[in-house]
Amino acid sequence: MIQLRRIEGGDRNNWTDFVQRSNNGTIFHLPDFLDYHPEGRFQNHHLLAEDGSGMVSVIPGALSDREDGTWFRSYPGASYGGPVLTDVMGLRKTEKLVDELIAYCRGNGWKGIEMTPPPIVYYRRPHNYLEFSLVRRGFRYRRRELTAVIDLSRFGEELRLGFRSSALRGVRKAQKSGVTVEENWDFDRFYPVLESNLQERHDVRPTHTLEELERLRQLLGNDRIKQFIAVRGGEVLAGMVMFHCNPRVTLAFYISHDQEHQALRPVNLVYMEVIRWAKQMGYHYIDLGTFTLDMEVNYGLCRFKESFSARGIFRNTLFGTV
């Protein structure tokens, strides 16, 4: 029998170890990542599931008060959430875990549950048992977006063979213009480019402040957050911030460029070098982020990411009342 209880301070090390050994855990499930949020931003309510054999799941979560009541969300301050599953968990046990989560939320008088599980490529042993169990119990999709994923196993020693001619033309243009790409630890150099680009094109600010990015790196370590910048003459023209999500997937959390130098195609060269780096590091996939919003497609962005061999994989958010 599976039982849920709220995670306590003494569970922290076991929580971290469980995520790192799990089938589908990511950086966003780790307590070190969740710690970057300031005290009081969310009503944290992290859960641990156990049976007679020990820990079978952790479910990072927080409570959100809405007009219709309190919802358990996993996790409002992270790209991906939902239950972290063991590599050996089958359908029957996954269903029992979902039933216990629903019962736990109902017993606390909450209205519903919302979660965005990691896409299928994040799994060590891929399956759809979690979403199947949720949908079978009346959960629906609040959002179904496409995230652009590059399967690095497609590339041999010559990366260029996996790219469209349009992508390669951009790479050559950047190289001939004297643009180079380097791994750089200084977020101060790229952040103004990121901030300006998001403001001009989308009238939004980056998800993380500069201080939060620095804090995340302090909490997680230099091996889990990498920054690559395209430079010419000491000036930063573009960049990409990569999050080590798990041993299989690295996520491009931020990709941006200086509009003034777009004609030099610095982003193309960043893509090329990051793909080269990710393959050398042994990742199976690169997640380049979504090119849809509320099922509306940004076809320009879609074509650009596809030109580097990316294809869209569902990134789903499910919700259901309890």
Domain ranges of the chain: 3-138, 148-315
What percent of the chain is predicted at pLDDT more than 70?
100
CA–CA gap between residue 60 and residue 83 (Å, rounded): 8
Compute the distance between CA of residue 15 and CA of residue 49 in angstroms, rounded to an integer: 11
In the block, tokens 């500069």 appear at 210
Is residue 60 pLDDT above 90, yes or no? yes
Please give the share of the chain, as a percent, with pLDDT higher than 90: 84
Q: What is the mean pLDDT of the chain?
A: 94
This prediction's pTM: 0.93
Q: How would CATH label the architecture of 3-138? A: 3-Layer(aba) Sandwich (3.40)
Of 165, 210, 157, 156, residue with least CA distance to 187: 210
pLDDT for res 24: 98
- Residue-wise pLDDT for 145-163, tens only, equals 999 999 999 887 777 778 9
Q: In this predicted model, what pLDDT tens digit does every residue of 127-141 receive, in sequence order?
A: 999 999 999 999 999
pLDDT at 204 over 90: no
Is 288 a residue whose pLDDT tops 80?
yes
The string of DSSP codes covering 124-179 is: SS---HHHHHHHHTT-EEEEEEEEEEEEGGG--S-GGGGS-HHHHHHHHHHHHTT-
How far is it, in rounded angstroms, from Cα 242 to Cα 155? Answer: 20
- Residue 206 per-residue DSSP state: -
CA neighbor of 14 nearest in space, from 57, 43, 52: 57
Domain 148-315 sits in which CATH superfamily? Gcn5-related N-acetyltransferase (GNAT) (3.40.630.30)
Q: Is 84 helix (H, G, I), strand (E, B) or coil?
A: strand
Q: Are 28 and 62 in contact (CB under 8 A)?
A: no
Half-sphere exposure of 175 (CA within 13 A, CB side): 10
pLDDT for the residue numbered 154:
86
Provide the pLDDT for residue 36.
Answer: 86
CA distance 267 to 269: 5
Lowest mean pLDDT among 83-87, 159-163, 296-300: 159-163
pLDDT score, position 276:
94
Q: Which pLDDT score, from 0 to 100, does residue 162 have?
A: 83
Is-same-fold flag (3-138; 148-315)?
yes
pLDDT value at position 52?
87
